[in-house]
Amino acid sequence: MNNRIRAVVAGATGYSGRELIRLLLRHPNIELAGAFSSGEAAPLAEIHPQLTGLTQLDCLPFDRATIARIEPGLIFLATPNEFSCDVVPALLETGATVIDLSGAYRLRDASLYPRYYGFEHKRPDLLGQAIYGIPEFVREKLRNARLIANPGCYPTSILVPLIPLRTEGIVDVQQPIICDSKSGVTGAGKSPNSTTHFVEVSESFRAYNIFQHRHTPEIVQGLGLPGESLIFTPHLLPINRGILSTIYLRLKKGMGRREILKLWQSAFETSPFVRVFEGSQLPEIKFVANTPFCDIGCAVDETSGQAIIVSAIDNLLKGAASQALQNANLALGFDERAGMR
C-alpha cells in the first residue's frame, strides 16, 4: 500500500470530479491524497453524499503550494478551461503527471482558443507537448507522459469509431461527414443556468451551439480533415448522463459493412473498453450508462455506399473520468483496466 502513487483531484466538486474520486478510491495502485476546488473547505462526503463511508478526506480550496507539499505523482484537473491553462505549467514543475480534463491543451493550434474558448492561450509551447489521450490510439505515446489532454466527450464518441476508417482510407471525403450527437444534461456541468434546469430540459429536445461548438475543431483535428468536411450538431437530451452519436458518411467504392467491422475488430482487438456491435443490434445509451465502455455499430446501404455509424458512451466516464484514469494507468505502466473492474 505504501508504494501506491499519490494523486490529487482539482475540481472535485463537479460531476466528473466526483466520478474520478469514486474510481480512485478503489484503485489498487493509486492513493487519493488530496481533493481541491474553488470553494471553501468541506468534507468530500458532505459535498458528494454518494461517497459517505468511502473517504474521510476534506475538499480544500485550490492552492498550488498545498498540492506540492502532498508530493503527488498524479494530478487530475477537472477544472474550467482557462483555469487549467493557467495552472498547468506550475503543476508540471512538481514532477507529477498532469491529466487535464478541460479543453485547455487539446488543440494544437493556439489561434483557435479565442474563437472557441474565449481566451488567448498563454502557453502554446505546451500544446505540442500534450498527448491527446484517446488511449486506444496512443498507448505507446502515453507511457511516461507528463501532460495528457483528456479528450472531450462528444469527440470521444465520434473519433473512436471514425479514426480506424480514416486511417485505412475507406471514407469518401468528397461528401461531408455529418455527426449528429445527443448528450445528457450532466455534460453542461454542475452550475445551473437558464437552459439546463429541470423545467427547460424536461419533455424537450434541442440542438445548440450550431457551427460554433468548441468540440468542432477537436473533432476536425482528430480526423485530419478540413473544417468544411465535417458538420457537427450537438443536442441536449432530457436525461442525466450518456451520449449517442449518429454519424453519416459515404464509403469508397467497393467498401461495405464487412470492411468496417473488420477494421474495427483489428483496431480494437486489445481494447478492453471498446465494444463492437457486429449484429443487427445498435448501441444505446442505456447499455453504457455508468460504465467505461464506448459501444460502436453500423448499418450500410451496400448499393449507394452510404453508412450510418452509431456510438454510445457515458459522458462522465468514457467521456471524462474513466478515460482520464485509463490514460493515467497507461502513463504509469499499470493495467489499463485498474480501478474500473
Catalytic: which of 153, 179, 294, 298?
Answer: 153
What is the C-alpha to C-alpha distance for residues 237 and 253, in angstroms, rounded to an integer? 36
Cβ distance 151 to 159 under 8 Å?
A: yes
**How large is the angle between the packed helices 15-24 and 321-332, nearest 10 degrees?**
40
- Strand extents, DSSP E, the chain: 5-10, 30-37, 42-43, 58-61, 74-77, 97-100, 131-132, 147-149, 177-183, 206-207, 230-236, 243-250, 274-276, 294-300, 306-313
Is residue 85 within 8 A of residue 123, CB to CB? The reply is yes
Count of other CB atoms within 10 angstroms of residue 212: 9
Q: Where are the alpha helices (DSSP H) in 193-291?
A: 198-201, 216-223, 257-267, 285-288
Active site residue 153: yes
Report, as residue numbers or ranges, the catalytic residues: 153
